[in-house]
Chain A
Amino acid sequence: MTSPSASADTLLGTDNILEVDDLTMYYKTRGGYVKAVEDITFDLGKQTALGLVGESGCGKTSVAMSLMGLLPGNAEINKGSIRLDGDELVGLTREELRERRWRDIAMVFQGAMNAWNPVYTVGDQIREAIRYHWEPAPSVEVANARIAELFELVGLAPAMLERYPHEFSGGMRQRAVIAMALSCDPKLIIADEPTTALDVIVQEQILKELKKIQDDLGMAIIYISHDIAVIAEVTEQIGIMYAGRLVELGPTPEVFADPRHPYGLLLLRSTPSIKGPRRKLAPLVGEPADLVNPPPGCRFHPRCPLAEERCAQETPVMEEVSPGHQVACFYWERTAELDIEGV
């Protein structure tokens, strides 16, 4: 499936830190296979931030976990490849994946309030990550010095190092998680709803700081969030997922200004925007697709106002609509019809 130009890129070394090709991952359950990730393809440039959005249950966390090599026992990557800095990750043994985890890809979790083990100090838990990934493992003093630096970077007092998680507020815990994610200089950080549990003001602060840290340290970040406004602010690229598939991918400003997939449009416009004109459009109706027995053809067609007969028979593939902007829809040119600007 790789195009000639893609393989030439690989040979010459590209500017991409992450290249995901045709990634397909199913969960095996009693009711059948949950087709949570299907044919996902995207590249991520060094030092870029990509936002991944979509309704609850569309497979965002599943993509993240596949990248981390942290899938549960019933999950299976059926095909595809994940190349991190040129190295293939699919097919590595558990032990090889473990060694790379946190050293190459770190993660800030959904619901990080309980991300800390209550019986160890925060410093202890960060040292643990350092001890298993730095070569050679540093002394406690060296590790502590590094953690103190990171604490200052994320806005925590270095003295908090030897405190227990219950002595931290929610926002402080999340900052500490970010410090921990930075502790092994990863090439990529995945932030899966990093701030959902926090209040709005703290959310803002933390995301801004994360953005600043990214600019300073220059790693790539994948943001996963329901909060589309946040994604718009901190990412260069945005990917829209529907029912396990990537349906639209492109530069954030362009996708926001001019979404070409009907789902992308309805999703982006369904969040009220304070700036900009008010819009009238067809609401996003219906239930999210069942991932065990997804609809044939385009998975969105049962809910799509533009759907034609063809949509239920053929599966649309990603197609470039403008440089760097891809859409998986047969009728993307008509999408704009839905976006009627109102008063």
Chain B
Amino acid sequence: MLKFIGRRLLQMAFLFVLFLTILFFLLQAQPGDISSQFVGNPEIPPEAKEILRERLGLNESLWGQYTTFIINFFKLDFGVSFTEYPREVSDILLSRLPRTVVLFLTATLLAYWMGFATGKLVAWRRNTKLEHVVTVTGIFLYTVFYPWFAIMMLWIFAANLGWFPVGKFITPSVWNNAPFEANQVFNRMIVVAVLFALFVGVVWYLTRRIGDLDRRKWLRRGIAAGGLVVVAFYWMGSDMRTYAADIAHHTVLPVVTLALVFFAQITLLTRSSMLETLREDYILTARAKGIPERVVRDRHAARNALLPVTTSFVLALAAVIGGGIVTESIFSWPGIGLALLNAVLVEDIPLAIGGLALIGLLSLVGHLIVDILYTFLDPRIRYS
């Protein structure tokens, strides 16, 4: 296992360097060098320009520039943003990173969890009204033009119904004279959420041997609900509560919008994967064994249908990233995607490159996680 992860990490590093190389040459293909972008900027003092040229290695040979470029990346030195001069690009990106990760991760997990459950059920109840309704809705969501869909969501639920704020991360009026930074509160929220997820994971693991499936289900749900109550009490007793609530309120709509599209995709994929699995001989064996139908469905059919759905994540990654950038810009969600988009529009090259590199790195990490997960899901991979 460790050997496997080590090998994958090496591959990842190689791919990342390759990715940076491509970025570097795209940069070189531009007319002039990147300093020409800020030569005319009166807000940057001439000494700073010289320092920048030095730091970017623009006085060196092409090969020297290339190595400096690559090495700087591994030192997390992305340079200085032109637009927010003299802020470091890495500083800008790191402060935005949690927001993007939360948006992506919540939407993806929600989509996979709900999509898998729905797809499984729909395949199991083949040729019922439920199946037709879900499939048609799924195909609609899957094929819809996503930016239009996001704007519709915003228009319906924020502008018209007023259930959610119209984009952004916080409501400025609430945060006037706030004793906390938005990121401080947000980080606390992330920590609480991660602890809760760990708690649920441990409960699931500890209850896995309970034979009575109904008892297990309700026990798990009961304990998880208890955990939620504890979390609720924690926030009520915290002086961050108004601020946390404000952030949470802003988070719902972009997460749900992004999740819905992937939910549709996962539902359709799970459905077809499950239908295929149901034709396998081992499903017949499982039925012949006289185990309850629910066990045949979940433990045998769904468990195997999960394999292609898991690998699909790697392929979906590109779409997730694209969707993420669109979501961030439509909901004015101050994450990496929005920063990247703005940087490209105003030609803030260091920020744009930094954003691209970070997104590349994130997708490589996502890929690695899925690969590791897969080895746990499929023993044929684990042992070969």
> Taking CB as reference atom, which chain A residue is nearest B301?
A117
Within 8 Å by CB of B289, from A114, A132, A164, A167, lies A132
Residues of A within 8 A of B299 (CB): 128
> Per a CB cutoff under 8 Å, which of B287, B290, B378 touches A119?
B378
In the complex, which of the residues B285, B288, B307 has the most CB atoms of chain A within 10 Å of its own CB atom?
A: B288
Bin chain B's interface residue count. Answer: 20 to 34
Contacts across chains A and B counted by CB atoms under 8 Å: 76
- Given A117-B300, A119-B303, A131-B211, the answer on whether A98 and B292 have CB atoms closer than 8 Å is yes
Q: Is B290 a contact of A132 with CB atoms below 8 Å?
A: yes
Verify A112–B281 contact, CB threshold 8 A: yes
Does B3 make an interface contact (CB < 8 A)? Answer: no
B211 contacts A133, C-beta separation under 8 Å: no
Residues of chain B within 8 A of A102, CB atoms compared: 288-290
Given known A-B contacts A118-B378, A137-B211, A164-B379, A129 and B282 have beta carbons under 8 A apart:
no
- How far is the CB of B308 from the nearest CB of chain A, in Å? 13
- Please judge, given known A-B contacts A115-B282, A118-B378, A119-B303, whether A109 and B288 are in contact too, CB under 8 Å: yes
- Across the interface, name the chain A residue whose C-beta is closest to B290: A101
Chain B 271-288 per-residue mask, 1 if CB under 8 angstroms from chain A, else 0: 000000000111011111
CB distance from B29 to the nearest CB of A (A): 48
Q: Are A128 and B284 closer than 8 Å at their CB atoms?
A: no
Complex Cα gap A102–B211 (Å): 19
The interface size bin for chain A is 20 to 34
For residue B92, CB closer than 8 A to chain A, the reply is no
| Known A118-B379, A118-B380, A119-B379; contact A109-B290, beta-carbon cutoff 8 A | no
* A109-B285, A112-B281 known; A128-B378 Cβ under 8 A: no
B174 contacts the other chain (Cβ, under 8 Å)? no
B286 surroundings in chain A (CB, below 8 A) = 117
Contact B304 A117 (CB under 8 A): yes
A310 to B289, CA, bound (A): 46
The verdict on B383 contacting chain A, using a C-beta distance below 8 Å, is yes
A68–B281 alpha-carbon span in the complex (Å): 16
Complex: how many Å from CA A101 to CA B291?
A: 9
Interface residues of A in 85-104 (CB under 8 A from B): 98-103
| A107-139 interface bits toward B, Cβ cutoff 8 Å, 1 = contact, 0 = none | 101011111111100000000110111000100
Report the minimal beta-carbon distance from A208 to chain B, rounded to whole angstroms.
24
Min C-beta distance of A253 to chain B, whole Å: 32
**A166 x B380 contact (CB < 8 A):** yes
Chain A residues within an 8 Å CB radius of B304: 117-119
Q: Quick check: is A142 within 8 A (CB to CB) of the other chain?
A: no
CB distance from B286 to the nearest CB of A (A): 7
CB distance from B101 to the nearest CB of A (A): 30
Given A114-B282, A117-B282, A118-B378: A132 touches B292 (CB 8 Å cut-off): yes
CA distance A133 to B289 in the complex (A): 9
Chain A 271-283 near chain B by CB (<8 Å), digits 1 or 0: 0000000000000
Instruction: Determine the chain B residues whose CB is within 8 A of the CB of A118 once the complex forms.
Output: 282, 304, 378-380
If A131-B211, A164-B379 touch, does A115 touch B281 (CB 8 Å cutoff)? yes
Interface string of A236-266 (1 = CB under 8 A from B): 0000000000000000000000000000000
- Is B377 an interface position by the 8 A CB rule? yes
Instruction: Verify B288–A107 contact, CB threshold 8 A.
Output: yes
Chain A residues within an 8 Å CB radius of B303? 117, 119
Q: Which of B289, B307, B383 contacts A101 (CB 8 A)?
A: B289
Cβ contacts under 8 Å, A229 to chain B: none
Do the beta carbons of B288 and A111 come within 8 Å of each other? no
Q: How far is the CB of B115 from chain A (nearest CB, A)?
A: 20
Within 8 A of B (CB), among A179-198: 180
Q: Which B residues lie within 8 Å of A116 (CB)?
A: 282, 285
Interchain nearest-CB distance for A73 vs B (Å): 9
Bound Cα distance from A20 to B289, whole angstroms: 22
Tell me the complex Cα distance, A98–B299, Å.
Answer: 17
Question: B383: which A residues are within 8 A, CB to CB?
Answer: 164, 167
Q: List 26 A-B contacts (CB under 8 A).
A: A68-B288, A70-B284, A70-B287, A98-B292, A98-B293, A100-B290, A101-B287, A102-B289, A106-B288, A109-B285, A112-B281, A115-B281, A116-B282, A116-B285, A117-B300, A117-B303, A117-B304, A119-B303, A119-B307, A119-B378, A128-B295, A128-B299, A131-B211, A132-B289, A132-B292, A137-B211
Given contacts A116-B285, A117-B300, A129-B290, 7 further A-B pairs with CB under 8 A are A106-B288, A107-B288, A111-B281, A116-B282, A117-B303, A128-B289, A132-B289
Binding site for A on B (CB under 8 A): 211, 280-282, 284-293, 295, 299-300, 303-304, 307, 377-380, 383
